[in-house]
């Protein structure tokens, strides 16, 4: 492959970036651009140079795979390439279509002139990876669009159409309508005009940043950014870099930008965010499936059950433009479900998040039904009825009777055995779990549960469907709680044990929220409804005796304190408000239980709270990995980052533990096991964890230890 095409036409050298699909600025591409530039500069016939990409991208920016090796810094390093373009003695024009992002935008800013299609997508997404633009972006952009617009783009990481900057010095022409040909014509016309006018090269570095009250503006911006950046370093560091564009000289500003970029590059926060980025991409790849695995066509879907989950799932499909049949057992339940859907869409319209006509269109895609015969027209059915195996059995028997051959049958169960559910049909190969999270139309995570007999094409179809409906899919094997909820059990257990030992719900919540979690375990439980886990526990008590630490939780529920929806739970709530207020009633229950257990309360350090909660997740995560329930450690991180509010700046539980050092994690677990009030089994390190710790390795070094088949035999399904 030639990374840059080169041809000269009528005095114009065309450098065509050719690193599909998105012209990521790999070392080879950078080298080819500079070679092309040198060649054009040396060619006496060339009077102007045009840099152009393909329809999908001018360039999407750095090839971040190169971040971990030396190639990212290999010459020509991107900043040097941008400087070389700018220093060229002949006019250089960037012709921009598709994505023009990050390093790609910096490349364009290094050029002397820019023309763009109106719908080209412009962004500096670096902050999302804990970085700032590092090849002059923070210095050149404010010189073209002003301090405020530049800062907005750099700090938000948002993608905007080129049309937004029409009329600003960022673009010499913004072309409405027309594709690649119109863009090339515009670049050609501009080159001809420059030649005719004998126009000199025009360097962004020679412009000054204009702002009447820069000092005051920057102060104001700092307050705003601090408020929204939630402890992340990159947005404020971006402000610092942009502020430097007002200082002594362009080169001074570049120096500031370089220093900040280098510091951020090695920061734990950026490493974690980059891990999360790769982890999400990796999650979509499934062992045993490839590009050649056939897929089934999904054009129409049915959802059975119009409750909390069914309604959300139906909206998810309607939002993606896929027609849905919503099937219920009773008219009354159907009406209630439809009313909830209407309310959600009306709410979005009222908040101006959705246009009224779009709400109508989406609502129109949801077809209510009380008749299983309607299922015969669909390609996929998702069951979201009560969490009761007998009810599910009845539903799957009906689905087996009515669904057409080749239709995929999915269950949204959280705790039941998907293999048993599949066995209710005569086509278990077409059955799998699609475990959505509440609210299903909002939460990004989807656990795709691969059952014993799920066929590869069914799994492959589910994975690509997830992408179509905007979900991040992670494959899980069959076990109790799959990946996310299974890990939540030992986490919740530690939270409750710490109450017995001396902590309050608020102290536990505040400690883990300071670590970065969106919500601590007690606030979270009050939001989800304490009755949900209580019902599951009670079902368990039939087989296992009540565990000691459950007593406090059960007593809270016995008082009807189910959380926000009942006005009280672990906290109390003022009518219409969501502030969690500590409640003496709960403190009393905790004090009584401590007394009954003869546990003298102690002050538990916040660091212990955090480590016990997080390492409980990690140890169960390690078991999930060794059993092959999860394919890779990073999949577990994706589950916790996208579904459970784990702080992105820490990269997920497994990445976090590897960063801390698995040896250190195991030593800390031993310390916890020595606590006289510990449940001794909880801190027994998973075999995989112990093995990796002893070898001084990380979780990313581990591949799922067993095949999914073996894993299921070990899984402790409770179905
Ligand atoms: P829900 O009680 O809100 O809704 C269940 C709905 O199913 C009700 O509207 C009911 O009328 C309907 N239904 C019952 N039997 C039916 C039948 N035979 N045919 C058609 N409809 C029938 O429950 P939910 O919270 O939406 O949970 C549904 C499923 O999703 C459960 O399996 C649950 O474990 C799972 N789930 C729930 C959550 C959550 O946070 N609520 C999250 C993930 C998964």
How crowded is residue 370: how many other Cβ atoms within 10 Å of its Cβ?
12
709 within some domain: no
Give the largest Cα separation in the chain, rounded: 93
My answer on whether 449 and 497 are in the same domain is no
My answer on whether 89 and 177 are in the same domain is yes
pLDDT at 71 over 90: no
My answer on whether 443 and 493 are in the same domain is no
My answer on whether 185 and 204 are in the same domain is yes
Residues 551 and 589: their CA atoms lie apart, in Å, by 10
What is the 298 CA–ligand 1 centroid distance (Å)? Answer: 23
1 pLDDT tier (thresholds 50, 70, 90): low
Pairing type for strands 159-161 and 324-327 reads: unpaired
For residue 688, CA distances in Å to 310, 562, 568 come to 38, 38, 41
Domain final position from 423, 450, 476: 476
Mean pLDDT, all residues of the chain? 93
pLDDT at 706 over 60: no
| Closest C-alpha residue for ligand 1 atom 8 | 307
My answer on whether 424 and 503 are in the same domain is no
> What pLDDT does 707 receive?
42
> What pLDDT does 704 receive?
53
| Nearest atom of ligand 1 to the alpha carbon of 395 | 18
Is 413 near ligand 1, meaning CB less than 6 Å away?
A: yes
Domain of residue 347, CATH code: 3.40.50.720
Question: Which of 306, 373, 385, 447 is the pocket-test mutation for ligand 1 (most atoms within 8 Å of CB)?
Answer: 385
Nearest Cα neighbor of 124 from 113, 83, 144, 205 is: 144
My answer on whether 655 and 514 are in the same domain is yes
Is 384 near ligand 1, meaning CB less than 6 Å away?
A: yes
Helix extents (H) in 197-307 = 214-228, 234-243, 250-265, 268-283
Residues 479 and 410: their CA atoms lie apart, in Å, by 16
> What pLDDT does 703 receive?
63
Residues 101 and 89: their CA atoms lie apart, in Å, by 26
Tokens 């329809």 identify what position? 55
- Which of 371-375, 529-533, 606-610, 706-710 is predicted least confidently? 706-710
What is the 340 CA–ligand 1 centroid distance (Å)? Answer: 14
Nearest Cα neighbor of 570 from 632, 521, 634, 519 is: 521
Nearest Cα neighbor of 476 from 716, 313, 711 is: 711
pLDDT at 708 over 70: no
Domain final position from 429, 447, 476: 476
pLDDT at 193 over 70: yes
Residues 489/463, Cβ–Cβ less than 8 Å: no
My answer on whether 117 and 37 are in the same domain is yes
Strand partners, 99: 57, 121
What is the 652 CA–ligand 1 centroid distance (Å)? Answer: 29
**Strand ranges in 295-378 using DSSP code E only, listed in sequence order:** 301-304, 324-327, 366-369
Tell me what percent of the residues of the chain surpass a pLDDT of 90.
Answer: 86
Is 533 near ligand 1, meaning CB less than 6 Å away?
A: no
- Which of 88-102, 488-502, 540-554, 657-671 is predicted least confidently? 540-554
My answer on whether 530 and 468 are in the same domain is no
283 within some domain: no
Range of the domain at 163: 4-265
Tell me, yes or no, if 543 is annotated catalytic. Answer: no
Residues 384/310, Cβ–Cβ less than 8 Å: yes
Nearest Cα neighbor of 322 from 216, 454, 470 is: 470
What is the 383 CA–ligand 1 centroid distance (Å)? Answer: 8
pLDDT at 69 over 80: no
| Mean pLDDT, residues 103-123 taken together | 97
My answer on whether 398 and 444 are in the same domain is yes
My answer on whether 86 and 210 are in the same domain is yes
Nearest Cα neighbor of 144 from 227, 75, 242, 73 is: 242
Residues 640/437, Cβ–Cβ less than 8 Å: no
| Mean pLDDT, residues 107-134 taken together | 97
Pairing type for strands 159-161 and 113-117 reads: unpaired
Q: Give the torsion sign (CA, 275, 281, 284, 287).
A: negative
What is the 387 CA–ligand 1 centroid distance (Å)? Answer: 6
My answer on whether 579 and 687 are in the same domain is yes
> What pLDDT does 329 receive?
95
Residues 345 and 437: their CA atoms lie apart, in Å, by 19
For residue 444, CA distances in Å to 316, 394, 481, 507 come to 10, 30, 18, 29
Marked catalytic residue, from 3, 86, 126, 593: 126
Is 391 near ligand 1, meaning CB less than 6 Å away?
A: yes
712 pLDDT tier (thresholds 50, 70, 90): very low
What is the 308 CA–ligand 1 centroid distance (Å)? Answer: 7
> What pLDDT does 678 receive?
85
Residue 301 burial (C-beta neighbours within 10 Å; 0-12, 13-18, 19+): buried
Residue-wise DSSP of 371-414? -GGGGGG-SEEEE---S-HHHHHHHHHHHHHHSPTT-EEEE--S
Residues 138/257, Cβ–Cβ less than 8 Å: yes
| Mean pLDDT, residues 647-660 taken together | 96
56 pLDDT tier (thresholds 50, 70, 90): very high
pLDDT at 659 over 90: yes
Token pair, residue 658, equals 């590897």
Is 309 near ligand 1, meaning CB less than 6 Å away?
A: yes
157 within some domain: yes
Marked catalytic residue, from 3, 106, 500, 626: 106
| Mean pLDDT, residues 622-627 taken together | 96
User: What global pTM score does this model have?
Assistant: 0.89
212 within some domain: yes
Domain of residue 252, CATH code: 3.90.226.10
Residues 159/123, Cβ–Cβ less than 8 Å: yes
Is 329 near ligand 1, meaning CB less than 6 Å away?
A: yes
Question: Which of 302, 303, 306, 308 is the pocket-test mutation for ligand 1 (most atoms within 8 Å of CB)?
Answer: 308
What is the 304 CA–ligand 1 centroid distance (Å)? Answer: 8
Token pair, residue 415, equals 């705790």
Nearest Cα neighbor of 16 from 39, 32, 28, 38 is: 32
Tell me, yes or no, if 257 is annotated catalytic. Answer: no
Residues 382 and 449: their CA atoms lie apart, in Å, by 13
> What pLDDT does 685 receive?
97
Mind listing the pLDDT tens digit for each residue in 386-441? 999 999 999 999 999 999 999 999 999 998 999 999 999 999 999 999 999 999 99
Nearest Cα neighbor of 22 from 52, 63, 57 is: 57
| Closest C-alpha residue for ligand 1 atom 28 | 384
Q: Phi and psi at residue 401, in whole multiples of 5°?
A: -75, -40
301 pLDDT tier (thresholds 50, 70, 90): very high
| Nearest atom of ligand 1 to the alpha carbon of 385 | 7
Residues 396 and 548: their CA atoms lie apart, in Å, by 38
Number of domains comprising the chain: 3
pLDDT at 710 over 50: no
pLDDT at 341 over 70: yes
Q: How much is the CA Rg of the chain, to the nearest whole Å?
A: 29
Domain final position from 250, 265, 280: 265
Which secondary structure element, helix H or strand E, spans residue 675, and what is its range?
none
Is 307 near ligand 1, meaning CB less than 6 Å away?
A: yes
Is 442 near ligand 1, meaning CB less than 6 Å away?
A: no
Domain of residue 632, CATH code: 1.10.1040.50
pLDDT at 716 over 80: no
pLDDT at 548 over 80: no
pLDDT at 114 over 50: yes
């Amino acid at each position: 492959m030639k990374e840059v095409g080169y041809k000269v036409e009528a005095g114009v050298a065309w450098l065509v970036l050719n690193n599909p699909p998105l012209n990521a600025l790999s070392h080879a591409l950078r080298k080819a651009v500079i070679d092309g530039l040198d060649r054009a500069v040396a060619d006496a016939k060339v009077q102007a140079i045009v840099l152009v990409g393909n329809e999908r991208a001018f360039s999407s920016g750095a090839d971040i795979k190169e971040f971990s090796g030396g190639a990212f810094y290999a010459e020509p390093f991107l900043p040097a390439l941008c400087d070389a373009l700018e220093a060229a003695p002949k006019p250089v024009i960037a012709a921009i279509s598709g994505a023009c992002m990050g390093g790609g935008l910096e490349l364009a800013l290094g050029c002397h002139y820019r023309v763009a299609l109106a719908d080209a997508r412009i962004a500096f997404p670096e902050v999302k990876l804990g970085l700032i633009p590092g090849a002059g972006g923070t210095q050149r952009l404010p010189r073209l669009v002003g301090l405020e617009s530049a800062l907005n783009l750099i700090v938000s990481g948002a993608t905007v159409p080129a049309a937004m900057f029409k009329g600003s010095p960022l673009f010499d022409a913004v072309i409405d309508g027309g594709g690649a040909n119109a863009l090339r014509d515009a670049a050609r016309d501009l080159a001809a005009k420059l030649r005719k006018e004998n126009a000199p090269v025009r360097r962004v570095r020679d412009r000054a940043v204009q702002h009447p009250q820069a000092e005051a503006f920057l102060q104001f911006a700092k307050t705003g950014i601090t408020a929204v950046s939630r402890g992340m370093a990159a947005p404020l560091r971006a402000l610092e870099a942009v502020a430097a564009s007002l200082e002594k000289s362009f080169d001074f500003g570049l120096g500031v930008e370089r220093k900040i970029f280098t510091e951020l590059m090695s920061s734990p926060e950026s490493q974690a965010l980059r891990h999360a980025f790769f982890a999400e991409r990796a999650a979509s790849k499934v062992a045993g499936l490839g590009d050649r695995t056939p897929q089934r066509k999904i054009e129409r879907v049915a959802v059975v059950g119009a409750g909390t989950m069914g309604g959300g799932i139906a909206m998810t499909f309607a939002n993606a433009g896929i027609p849905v049949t919503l099937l219920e057992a009773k008219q009354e339940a159907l009406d209630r479900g439809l009313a909830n859907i209407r309310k959600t869409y009306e709410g979005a319209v009222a908040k101006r998040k959705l246009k009224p006509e779009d709400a109508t269109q989406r609502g129109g895609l949801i077809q209510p039904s009380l008749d299983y015969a309607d299922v015969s027209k669909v390609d996929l059915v998702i069951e979201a009825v009560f969490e009761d195996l007998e009810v599910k059995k009845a539903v799957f028997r009906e689905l087996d009777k009515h669904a057409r051959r080749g239709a995929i049958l999915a269950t949204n169960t959280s705790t039941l055995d998907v293999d048993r559910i599949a066995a209710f049909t005569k086509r278990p190969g077409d059955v799998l779990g699609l475990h959505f999270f509440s609210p299903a139309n909002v939460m990004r995570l989807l656990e795709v549960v691969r059952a014993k007999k799920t066929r590869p094409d069914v799994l492959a179809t589910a994975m690509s469907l997830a992408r179509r409906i905007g979900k991040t899919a992670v494959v899980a094997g069959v076990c109790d709680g799959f990946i996310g909820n299974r890990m939540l059990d030992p986490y919740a257990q530690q939270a409750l044990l710490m109450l017995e030992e001396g902590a309050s719900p608020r102290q536990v919540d505040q400690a883990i929220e300071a670590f970065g979690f969106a919500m601590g375990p007690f606030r979270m439980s009050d939001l989800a409804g304490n009755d949900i886990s209580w019902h599951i526990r009670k079902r368990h008590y039939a087989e296992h005796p009540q565990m000691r630490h459950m007593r406090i939780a059960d007593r809270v529920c016995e008082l009807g304190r189910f959380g926000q929806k009942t006005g009280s739970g672990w906290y109390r709530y003022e009518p219409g408000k969501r502030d969690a207020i500590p409640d003496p009633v709960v403190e009393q229950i905790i004090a009584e239980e401590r007394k009954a257990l003869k546990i003298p309360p102690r002050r538990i350090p916040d660091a212990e709270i955090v480590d016990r909660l997080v390492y409980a997740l990690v140890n169960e995560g390690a078991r999930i990995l060794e059993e092959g329930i999860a394919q890779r450690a990073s999949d577990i991180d994706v589950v916790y980052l996208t579904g459970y509010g784990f702080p992105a700046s820490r990269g997920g539980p497994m990445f976090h533990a590897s960063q801390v050092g698995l040896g250190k994690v195991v030593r800390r677990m031993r310390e916890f096991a020595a606590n006289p009030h510990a449940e001794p089994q909880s801190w027994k390190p998973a075999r995989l964890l112990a093995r990796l710790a002893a070898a001084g390795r990380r979780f990313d070094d581990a591949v799922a230890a067993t095949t999914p088949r073996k894993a299921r035999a070990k899984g402790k399904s409770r179905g």
